[in-house]
Structure 1
Amino acid sequence: LNPHVNDFQRRYVSEVRRCSEMERKLRWVAGELPEPPPPPKPDRCSLSPREINILEERIDFIESEIQEITRNARNLKSDYLSLIELRTLIEKMQTFFQDHSAQRKISASVQIYNNDAVLGHLGFIAGVVTTARIPAFEKMLWRISHGNIFFKQAQIDEPLKDPITGHELQKTVFVVFFHGEQIKLRVKKVCHGFKATLYPCPATYKDQLDMLAGVGTRIKDLEMVLEQTENHRRLVLTNIARDISTWMVAVRKEKAIYHTLNMFSMDIVKKCLIAECWVPRRDLTVVQKALENGVKASGSPIPSILHYVPTHETPPTFNRTNKFTRGFQNLIDSYGIASYREVNPALYTIITFPFLFAVMFGDVGHGIIMAAFAAILVIYEKKFSKVQTDNEIWNIFFGGRYIILLMGIFSIYTGLIYNDMFSKSLNIFGTSWRNVYEDGVLKNHSMLELDPKTAYTQTPYPFGLDPAWQFASNNIIFLNSFKMKLSIIFGVIHMAFGVTMSVVNFNFFKKQEMIFLQYIPQILFLLLLFWYLCLLMFMKWIMYSAVAE
C-alpha cells in the first residue's frame, strides 16, 4: 500500500535493522560452535517487546564474551608460538656455535649491545622465517651485503600452527653473522621485509642453557593457561548451543513480522495500520480467528477489522496441497505456475510423471531398491521431519519421497513387463519357444536360428517379455525397437491429453472460439503426424505374424 515510500523511510525500518543485527551476531556465534546446534525447541508465540530487549542484551553480552575469550586465546597462542620458536632457535643456535674446524673456530668471548651479540669482531642476528621464503631471503641478504655475511639455517621439524587461521606453518631458524653497524641495519630491514621474527639470543653456551630453562618453564605455564582458556570457551559455547537455534527462529520471526508491517499504510491520524492481502475464501474464518487471538494476546481494547474489498485485479494462484501432493506441485511450479482458476496439472502428474519415468527406467531390482528407500522415508517421515538440516540433497530426497515411492512401484511394474531384473530375465511361467534341433546339431553350432513358424508355440508369454529373448543375439535390437515404440505411444497419448485439457480452461473462461482456433488445429496436427504412426505400430503387431498369410 506504500510503494512510493523509500525502504529506509518506512515506519519499522529501525526494528528490521535491529533484528538483522541480532541475526548477524547469532550467525557469528553459530559459526564459532564446534558442532552443529540442536534443533529449535517447539514453536511458541512471538516475543513481547520486553522479551526482545532482554534477548538483545543477552546476545550482545554473549558476543562480547566470546569475542573477548577468542581474542585472549589468540594472544595466548601467539605468545605460545613465539616461545616455541625461541626454544627451537636456542636449541639450533647451540649447534651453530659448535664448530670444531680449527680454521673456522669462533672465540667464545662476547659483548652484548642492545640484545644483539657481537662475537669477537662479528655480530649476529637470529630469528625465524617461513621456509618457503628462505631461498629469496638468503639471496637478498647476499646482495645487500655484497657477500660479506655468513648465513646458517635449520628447518624446524614439526610444523607450527598459525594462531589466527589454525593452518600449519613450515618455518626455518636462521642466524646471520656480519661485520659492522651499517650491514646490521640492512639485515634488519631485509628481515622486516620478509616478515621474519627476530629473537634475542645469547652467544655463550651457559647463557643459552639458562634462557632455555626459563623458556621451557614459561611454555609449561602457558600450556596450562591455554588448556583452561579452551575449556572455559568450550563450556560457554556448549551452554549457548542449547538455545541458539530457538533464538535464531525467534529473531527471524520478529524480523519477518516487522518486514510485513512495513508494507502496511497508516491512517490519517497515524494510530491505525491498514493492510490489503489475498486470502483463500474458505480461510477467511481462519484469518478472522487469528486476528481475534492477536487482539486477546496483546490486551488491546480495540478489535481488528477484516473487511472485504471488491477489486478487478487478477488474484494470485493458490494451490492447496498436503504432504503427498506437495512434491508434485513443486515439480509443476518449477516449470511454471498456472494462471488463476486454470486446471492444475499437478493432479494428473501424480500418475504420469512416475509412470513415464518407469517406462525409461524399467528394472525390477532397481525399482525395489528405490521403492524401499522411499518407503523408509515415508514410514519414518515424522522422525525425519524434525531434523533441521541445510543439506540440499537430503531435503530434495525427503521432499520428493512420495514421488520416489511411486517411481519405484511403477519401475517394478515396467520391469516385469520388460522381464528385466538387474539385467537378467525371470522365467516365471515358462518360455513359449521350444528347441527344434537335435543334440548333435546343438553341439556342432555355437549359434542357431529359431523359425517362429516351428519353434514358437503361438501362445504369448502370460505377462511381459518372453525370457527366451535374453539369449538371442538380436536381443538389443529387438528390445530397443520395442521400448522405442512404447515410448512413442505413451508420449503421444500424454501430449494429446495435455492439449485436450485446454478445452476445460476454454469452457471455464467462456472462450469457446479458442476451441476452434487453437485446440482443433493442434489436435489435428498431432493426429495426422503422430497418431498415424502409432496406428501403423498396432497394425503391424496385430495383422502381421510368422504364420499369417
Structure 2
Amino acid sequence: SGSMVFRSEEMCLAQLFLQSGSEYDCISELGELGLVEFRDLNPSVSSFQRRFVSEIKRCEEMERILGKAAPGMCHVLTPGYAYCQNNRQVSDDCVLQSGPPELLLEQLQRLEMELSEVARNKEKLQRNLLELTEYTHMLKITRAFIHSRSRVSFSLFVSGLIQRVKVEAFERMLWRVCKGYTILSYAEVDENLADLDTGEISKSVVFLISFWGDQIGQKVQKICDCYHCHLYPHPENDEERADVLDSLKTRIQDLNNVLHRTEDYLRQVLQKASESAYTWVVQVKKMKAIYHILNLCSFDVTNKCLIAEVWCPVSDLANLRGALEEGSRKGDATVPSFVNRIPSTDTPPTLLRTNKFTSGFQSIVEAYGVGDYREVSPAPYTIITFPFLFAVMFGDLGHGLVMSLFALWMVLTEKTQKKKRSSNEIWATFFSGRYIILMMGLFSVYTGLIYNDCFSKSLNIFGSGWSVKAMFTNQQNKTLQNNALLMLDPNVSGVFSGPYPFGIDPIWNLAVNRLSFLNSYKMKMSVIIGVIHMTFGVVLSVFNHLHFRQKYNVYVLFLPELLFLLCLFGYLVFMILYKWLAFGARDSSQAPSILIHFINMFVMQGKDITPLYPGQTGLQIFLVLVALLSVPVLLLGKPLYLYWLYRGGKGLRRRRCLLLEDSMFIVCSVFQFDLADVVLHQAIHTIEYCLGCISNTASYLRLWALSLAHAQLSEVLWAMVMRLGFNITDRMGVVFLVPVFGLFATLTVSILLVMEGLSAFLHRDQKRFVSGTSITCYCFTLNCFYKLSVS
C-alpha cells in the first residue's frame, strides 16, 4: 500500500537461497518490485576481491562507451528515442527482454569501433581539407609578393602560414639569426582558419621568405619549425601556380563531397544507436546494480547456491516468494530458489511507506531523525500540524491565495514537469514539495480569514459590530474638538452590537490600538497552541509504551511528564481562557495581569493582589508541588523499577533458561543491567524534558513574532508602494499605477512569499515521542533507472 501508516512496517529477517544460474533473474525480479533491503554478508572482503568484480568492470566499460557516444547522439535524437523515453511501458518491455551482458557488451564494442573509425576518417579528411585551404590562400596571397620584388638577387623561397600572434616574434628571430640576409613579406588571411594541431579558430598570416644560400635556408627552416609554421612548396612561375590552384580546387571539391558522405554515414550510425540508447543505459545501470547486490551474497559450501539475507516487510513475504519463483522460471533453474525466515536479535530498519502526497511530509520528519522500529510515526499528524503552524505565522488571505494557486498549478502540471526533468535544484526542491506548499497556502487562507488580513487590509464582509453613531449622542462638541482620538466604549448602549461572525472585526484596521490588541491576541493564542501541541506529543508516547509492552513507562515516564507540563503550562492556558470568559467589557478595568499571577505562583507571593477566582493561592501551591514532585519521579522512577526488576528476576530467569536450553529458537543469555548507565540516561532525559518544556513554550511565541513581522512588512509595502500610485488622481495616475503594481507584486512575491515563507519553517512535534535514532530501510529497487536519459 502506498498510503501513509501510523506506525512503521513490521519487518523480518529472511534468508534467500538463490540457485546457480538463476540468481541474476531472481535479484532482477526483486529489484523490479522493490521489496527488500539486502545485508552485506561479506563485510571483511574488499570490493576488489568479490566474486562479481569482473562483471561490474564490464558494466563500467559499457557505461564508458555510452558516455563517449552520448554527446553525438544528443544532436541526432530521433522520434523513436523520444518515444522510448516518454512511453514508459515500451521502455520497460525493452529492458525486461534484454539479453545477456556479454551480448550487449559485444554490441556496444562494435558500435564504439565503428564510431571511432568513422571519427578518425572524418578527422583525417578535415585535416587534409584544412591543409589544402591553407595552401590555396598561400598561393593567392604570395602572387603579389613575387610580382613586387626582383628575382635576380634571391633564388630561394620559403612560404607558409603562421598564427597572427607569433608574427612579430618570428620576424625578430629571422632578423637576428640570419643577420638581415632574408626578406620577409606577409599578409593576413581574411578568413579565420582552424589550427591543424589544436583545432582552435584563430587569425593566420601568409608569409614569404626570400633568401640566398643553403646555410641561410637551413636556419630559416629551423626557425619555422620552432614557431610551428605550416610550410607549403612555392611554385617556380605563374603557369605552375595556376596549375596547382586548379588541382587544389578539384581536390577540395572532392574532399567536401567525401566529407559530407562521411558525416551522413556518421549521422545514420548515431541515429540508429540513439533509438536504443535509452534501453542500453537502463540495462547497463540495472546490470551494475544487480551485480553489486550479488556481491553482498555469500556462497554455500558446495558453491552451487548463493545465500542472501534481507530485511523484508512481513506483509510482503508472499510477494517475495512469488518473485523468487518467477526468477527461477526465467533462469531455467532445475532447483527453484526459496526463502526462509530466520530469527534475529538485531533491530530491523524503519520502513514507512509513502506516496507522492505524503513523501514530502515524511522527509520533513526524517530531517530531524528517523523513528525507531515500530514507533508511532509523526508524519500523518505533521500533514496537518506543519501547514497549520506555518499558517499561524503566515496568515494572510491574499498571500495564501497566491501560494495556493502556485502550488495548484504545480500539482495539475506535475506530469508535464516530470517529463521536462529540470536540472535546476531550487525548482526541483519547490516541485517536490508542491503538496506541502498547497497545504500551507490553504491553511494560510484560513488563518488569513481569521486575522481578517488581505494584503494588510481588512475585508468588511458581514459588517462591523461597532457603531460610531451612538458615541456622538453622549459627547459634547467641546470634547470632540479638543480630542484627536476618542475611544469607542462598548458599555455605551448601541456602540457594540455583538462579535464579528468570523474572524477579527474589520474596524480594528482603523484603530490606533490595533497593534496592541492583535499582539495580545496572537501572543496568548501562540501559547495555547504550543501547549496543546506539546501535550499531544506527550500523549502519543503512550502508544509507544503500550506497543512495546513497557506499561511501567506509562507510570514512571508518561504521567510525570504530563503532570509537569499541565501543572505549569496547562495552568497558564487555563488562566488565559478563564480571564477571557470571566471578564467582559464592563469590568475589563479590573482584570488582573496573568503574567503577575504566573510569576507569583512560583515565588509563593501575591496575597495582596486580587485573585482571579476564589481559592487560587491554594490551588497554585498544590500545582507547583505536584510539578516539583514529578521531577524526582521522572528522574528515579524508571532506574529504581528496572533495578528492582533485575534483582528480583534473577532466580526466575535461571530456572527458565534450564527449561528452554534445548530450544533452537530461543537464545538464553543473562540480562546485563548497569544502574549507573540507566540513571545517567534518565538524568539527561529529565533535564532535557524539563528545560525543553520551558524553552519550547517560549519558542512557540515565534508564531506571534513572525505573524507580527509578516503583517508589518505587508503594511509597509502597501503604504510605501501601492499608496503612491493611488495618490495620483489625474488621468496619468492609471498609467503610473501599472509599474507601481508591478513593483508591488514583485516585492510581495520575493519578500513576503519567498523570504517570509522560508523563515516560517520552524516547528516540529516528533521530539516528544520519537527517539530519532534508527535508520531508514532502503529497499533495493530498479524503478529509479527508468528515469534516466542518455544526456
TM-score (norm 2): 0.57
Structure 1 pair 177–313 and aligned structure 2 pair: CA distance change class (3 A): same
Q: Which residue, 197, 207, 217 being the options, matches 1:175?
A: 207
How many Å apart are 1:294 and its aligned residue?
Answer: 1.9
Structure 1 pair 395–271 and aligned structure 2 pair: CA distance change class (3 A): same
Q: Is 1:237 matched up with 2:266?
A: no
Q: Which moved more, 1:295-304 or 1:495-504?
A: 495-504
Q: Which residue, 98, 117, 126 being the options, matches 2:160?
A: 126
Partner residue, 2:53: 13
Structure 1 pair 512–83 and aligned structure 2 pair: CA distance change class (3 A): farther
Structure 1 pair 371–194 and aligned structure 2 pair: CA distance change class (3 A): farther
Partner residue, 2:118: 69
Q: Is 1:323 matched up with 2:356?
A: yes
Partner residue, 1:262: 295
Instruction: Summarize the alignment of residues 266-281 of structure 1 with structure 2, pairs less than 5 Å apart.
Output: 266-281=299-314
Structure 1 pair 435–48 and aligned structure 2 pair: CA distance change class (3 A): closer
Structure 1 pair 272–182 and aligned structure 2 pair: CA distance change class (3 A): same
Structure 1 pair 203–355 and aligned structure 2 pair: CA distance change class (3 A): farther
Partner residue, 2:548: 509
Structure 1 pair 121–82 and aligned structure 2 pair: CA distance change class (3 A): closer
Matched to 2:67, the amino acid is: R
Structure 1 pair 43–124 and aligned structure 2 pair: CA distance change class (3 A): closer
Instruction: Summarize the alignment of residues 140-179 of structure 1 with structure 2, pairs less than 5 Å apart.
Output: 144=177, 153-160=186-193, 169-175=201-207, 177=209, 179=211
How many Å apart are 1:390 and its aligned residue?
Answer: 5.8
Q: Which residue, 87, 107, 117 being the options, matches 2:150?
A: 107
Structure 1 pair 212–531 and aligned structure 2 pair: CA distance change class (3 A): farther
Q: Report the secondary structure of 1:275's partner residue.
A: strand
Matched to 1:508, the amino acid is: H
Instruction: Summarize the alignment of residues 276-295 of structure 1 with structure 2, pairs less than 5 Å apart.
Output: 276-295=309-328
Partner residue, 1:342: 375
Partner residue, 1:102: none
Q: Report the secondary structure of 1:406's partner residue.
A: helix
How many Å apart are 1:84 and its aligned residue?
Answer: 3.4
How many Å apart are 1:430 and its aligned residue?
Answer: 4.0
How many Å apart are 1:21 and its aligned residue?
Answer: 1.7
Structure 1 pair 345–120 and aligned structure 2 pair: CA distance change class (3 A): same
Q: Which moved more, 1:248-257 or 1:201-210?
A: 201-210
Q: Any idea what the Cα deviations from partners look like across 1:59-94, whole Å, max 9, x if unmatched?
A: 111121122222222222233333333334444434
Structure 1 pair 282–31 and aligned structure 2 pair: CA distance change class (3 A): same
Partner residue, 1:116: none
Q: Report the secondary structure of 1:10's partner residue.
A: coil
How many Å apart are 1:528 and its aligned residue?
Answer: 8.7
Say if 1:47 and 1:254, in contact at 8 Å, map to a contact too. Answer: no
Matches of 1:253 and 1:224, distance apart in 2: 43
Q: Which residue, 259, 263, 277 being the options, matches 1:226?
A: 259
Q: Is 1:24 matched up with 2:24?
A: no
Say if 2:297 and 2:308, in contact at 8 Å, map to a contact too. Answer: yes
Matches of 1:217 and 1:479, distance apart in 2: 90
Q: Report the secondary structure of 1:278's partner residue.
A: strand
Say if 2:42 and 2:296, in contact at 8 Å, map to a contact too. Answer: yes
How many Å apart are 1:309 and its aligned residue?
Answer: 0.8
Matches of 1:157 and 1:48, distance apart in 2: 58
Structure 1 pair 164–176 and aligned structure 2 pair: CA distance change class (3 A): closer
Say if 2:158 and 2:234, in contact at 8 Å, map to a contact too. Answer: no
Q: Which moved more, 1:286-295 or 1:399-408?
A: 399-408
Structure 1 pair 519–217 and aligned structure 2 pair: CA distance change class (3 A): farther
How many Å apart are 1:317 and its aligned residue?
Answer: 0.9
Matched to 2:120, the amino acid is: R
Q: Which moved more, 1:448-457 or 1:59-68?
A: 448-457
Matched to 1:409, the amino acid is: L
Identity %: 44
Q: Which residue, 33, 42, 55 being the options, matches 2:104?
A: 55
Q: Report the secondary structure of 2:160's partner residue.
A: strand
Matches of 2:154 and 2:450, distance apart in 1: 97
Matches of 1:208 and 1:534, distance apart in 2: 105
How many Å apart are 1:346 and its aligned residue?
Answer: 1.4
Q: Which moved more, 1:346-355 or 1:494-503?
A: 494-503
How many Å apart are 1:524 and its aligned residue?
Answer: 7.5
Structure 1 pair 48–427 and aligned structure 2 pair: CA distance change class (3 A): closer
Matches of 1:133 and 1:467, distance apart in 2: 80
Partner residue, 1:33: 73
Partner residue, 1:85: 134
Matches of 2:368 and 2:223, distance apart in 1: 63
Matched to 1:269, the amino acid is: T
Matches of 1:157 and 1:55, distance apart in 2: 50
How many Å apart are 1:281 and its aligned residue?
Answer: 0.8
Q: Which residue, 383, 386, 404 being the options, matches 2:437?
A: 404
How many Å apart are 1:298 and its aligned residue?
Answer: 2.5
Partner residue, 1:304: 337
The number of residue pairs the alignment matches comes to: 526
Structure 1: stretches of 5+ with no match in the other structure: 100-105, 110-118
Q: Any idea what the Cα deviations from partners look like across 1:161-203, whole Å, max 9, x if unmatched?
A: 578987x622221426464655554554454444443333447
How many Å apart are 1:313 and its aligned residue?
Answer: 1.0
Partner residue, 2:502: 463
Q: Which moved more, 1:473-482 or 1:420-429?
A: 473-482
Matches of 2:131 and 2:514, distance apart in 1: 75
Q: Is 1:451 matched up with 2:484?
A: no
Q: Any idea what the Cα deviations from partners look like across 1:121-173, whole Å, max 9, x if unmatched?
A: 674443131x455555555556655677655554444444578987x622221
Q: Which moved more, 1:374-383 or 1:467-476?
A: 467-476
TM-score (norm 1): 0.78
How many Å apart are 1:252 and its aligned residue?
Answer: 1.9
Partner residue, 2:678: none
Matches of 2:146 and 2:464, distance apart in 1: 93
How many Å apart are 1:349 and its aligned residue?
Answer: 1.5
Q: Any idea what the Cα deviations from partners look like across 1:187-234, whole Å, max 9, x if unmatched?
A: 544544444433334475555554444434333333333322222222
Partner residue, 1:3: 43
Matched to 1:271, the amino acid is: K
Q: Which moved more, 1:178-187 or 1:319-328?
A: 178-187
Q: Report the secondary structure of 1:307's partner residue.
A: strand
Partner residue, 2:446: 413
Matches of 2:197 and 2:572, distance apart in 1: 71
